[in-house]
């Protein structure tokens, strides 16, 4: 584990021949922050530094995102979860509270399903994987030929104009300015052809023209095993807030909170509110873990009894 101070410093290691970047701050019980699509660990900075007062905060750049490598390979939720497991193993983190935003929420849930013994709590922020509906923009990006459109959207002049418009809106008192600037920051890495390819591989692993194609709703009952919190921006038009409400209703014992002035990037648009919600969640809940030997019982407790193939139910 790197020796860190109050700074959200970037560190690098090599996993399976590929560069993985992660940022660390603080000391104390570990919290892992998983970013969304075309975002990076940098987007967690303000939340991370606040949590770092009492926790060790680890925020990786997912493969194909930020400053991590952009190899030709597997960009599925399971692959991202496995890289995070390997990263935590290398730096000596056995268990942690796992927080995921958007795509990162899907990765966080997948991480729990694959490695339940490593998760003490789970927090989902405007999470993917909880319903089919998603913005037309993301559905369109899954279409053939989207790479050329992404190249145009990520052109420096377009991004400078978008960022400038966002700044003017912020100065004029509009909260939408922060959202526009967040979009511009998210799109800027896509100036690179390899990053655009990695983005499309990641996107198409979870979204097609009909919407989200990967769903965790049939396994939400498993999240009753660990403290779970769901946070959503009330103005989110990328993934409907109803997904969060339905997930909250399906997960016994979960908590649900909204950020009134935020859209799809609550941790960027209002990091103080998100950090406060996470701090309260960490303070009010007790960490829980599931032993490998108990996982079968967890599954069989809510699944139909096993029977010989071909027999009647």
Q: How far apart are CA 275 and CA 121, in angstroms?
A: 15
Tell me how far apart the alpha carbons of residues 241 and 260 are, in angstroms, rounded to a whole number: 11
> With the C-alpha atoms ordered 219, 224, 226, 228, is the resulting torsion angle positive or negative?
positive
Q: Name the token pair of 67.
A: 């400053």
d(CA 285, CA 241): 24
Joined together, the tokens standing for residue 193 give: 């052809």
Residues in the chain, overall count: 313
- DSSP letter assigned to residue 305: P
Structure tokens, 225: 């095993």
Angstrom distance (rounded) from CA 130 to CA 113: 15
Burial class (CB in 10 A: 0-12, 13-18, 19+), 216: buried
Catalytic residue ranges: 102, 236, 264
């Amino acid at each position: 584990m790197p020796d860190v101070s109050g700074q959200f410093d970037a560190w690098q290691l090599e996993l399976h021949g590929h560069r993985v970047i992660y940022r660390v701050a603080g000391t104390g019980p570990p919290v892992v922050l998983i970013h969304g699509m075309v975002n990076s660990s940098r987007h967690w900075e303000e939340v991370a530094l606040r949590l770092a007062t009492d926790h060790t905060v680890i925020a990786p750049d997912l493969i194909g995102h930020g400053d991590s490598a952009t190899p030709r390979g597997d960009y599925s939720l399971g692959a991202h979860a496995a890289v995070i497991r390997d990263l935590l193993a290398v730096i000596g983190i056995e268990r942690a509270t796992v927080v995921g935003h958007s795509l990162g929420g899907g990765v966080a849930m997948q991480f729990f399903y694959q490695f339940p013994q490593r998760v003490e709590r789970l927090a989902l922020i405007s999470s993917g994987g909880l319903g089919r509906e998603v913005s037309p923009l993301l559905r369109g990006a899954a279409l053939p030929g989207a790479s050329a459109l992404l190249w145009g959207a990520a052109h420096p002049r377009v991004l400078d104009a978008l960022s400038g418009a966002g700044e003017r809106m912020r100065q004029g008192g509009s909260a939408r300015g922060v959202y526009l600037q967040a979009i511009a920051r998210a799109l800027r890495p896509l100036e690179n052809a390899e990053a655009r390819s990695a983005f499309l591989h990641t996107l198409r692993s979870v979204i097609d023209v009909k919407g989200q194609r990967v769903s965790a709703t049939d396994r939400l009952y498993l999240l009753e095993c660990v403290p779970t919190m769901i946070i959503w921006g009330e103005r989110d038009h990328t993934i409907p807030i109803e997904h969060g409400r339905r997930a909250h209703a399906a997960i016994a014992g979960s908590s649900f909170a909204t950020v009134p002035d935020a859209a799809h990037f609550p941790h960027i648009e209002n990091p103080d509110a998100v950090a406060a919600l996470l701090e309260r969640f960490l303070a009010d809940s007790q960490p829980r873990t599931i032993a490998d030997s108990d996982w079968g019982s967890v599954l069989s407790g809510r699944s139909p009894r096993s029977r010989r193939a071909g027999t009647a139910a």
